[in-house]
Amino acid sequence: MSKPQLTLYTYFRSSAATRVRTLLSLQGTPYDSVYIHLLNGDQKAAAYVALNPSAAVPTLKVVDGADEWYLTQSAAILEYLDAVYGAGSACGSLMPADEKGKALVRSIIDVLVCDMQPLANLKTLQKVKAMGADSEAWAKEVNEAGLKALEGLLKQYSGGKYAYGDSLTLADVALAPQMYTCLRFGANLADYPTCAAVFKHVSALPEFIAADWKHQPDTPAELRA
């Protein structure tokens, strides 16, 4: 039975979209891309908002025979892709088999996608700047607060190379893109050694490099690695 056809609406700098690109890269799952330039406001176009009412990326278009539908929110997309494409893919399922493990991986992911990324994404930083505050200082502060919490979790559950245990999980897929954001806004990862060790290991994997912000077709030439 054939798998659904996928189209990812993405932006090179978006950490949320990078999570999805990373999992697709690890799986070797084929997909098409539509590039949504956030700084140009493509996400605010009425046609796009009809697909993603949050006016954000990523959005995953799923075509399964006559059924066409759209999935938003990166964590939901990750779990869908893992459930539908994980078994038999190049990386296999990236969720633990046991319920405790699943719950702990989700808790790590939620720190990244709920407590950290939304507080320093483009939409929030534009609002902070409009209020007359220093948006970059704000981004640094909230990311460091998130790193402190994340470090506490990883000290308990990381085996050293990965965010949870001794193998790759969706927690690593969520972690790496947010670490790039933390670095971008001046966080010193040396203050969070477990986070730094995990990031150093997974970000060097070829599939993570292929999906990162520096290696996308829509990455401006001056920013490409």
pLDDT in tens, 130-148: 999 999 999 999 999 999 9
Given a cut of 70, whether residue 224 has pLDDT beyond it is yes
C-alpha–C-alpha distance, residues 136 and 153, integer Å = 26
Q: What is the mean pLDDT of residues 122-131?
A: 96
For residues 175 and 195, the answer to whether their CB atoms sit within 8 Å is yes
CB atoms within 10 A of CB 134: 11
| 99-209 is classed CATH 1.20.1050.10 | yes
Check residue 2 and give its pLDDT: 84
pLDDT in tens, 156-170: 999 999 999 999 999
What does the domain layout of the chain look like in residue ranges? 5-92, 99-209
- The strand pairing partners of 71, in sequence order, are 60
CB atoms within 10 A of CB 108: 23
Q: What is the mean pLDDT of residues 187-200?
A: 98
C-alpha–C-alpha distance, residues 189 and 175, integer Å = 13
CB atoms within 10 A of CB 126: 11
Q: What is the mean pLDDT of residues 82-111?
A: 98
Q: What is the mean pLDDT of the chain?
A: 98
Length of the chain: 225
Superfamily of the domain at 5-92: Glutaredoxin (3.40.30.10)
Which structure tokens are listed for 17? 């979209």
Q: pTM for the complete prediction?
A: 0.96
C-alpha–C-alpha distance, residues 31 and 58, integer Å = 13
Check residue 1 and give its pLDDT: 67
3-class secondary-structure state, position 23: helix
Given a cut of 90, whether residue 15 has pLDDT beyond it is yes
C-alpha–C-alpha distance, residues 108 and 32, integer Å = 29
Which structure tokens are listed for 21? 């690109």
Check residue 102 and give its pLDDT: 99
According to DSSP, residue 38 is labeled: T
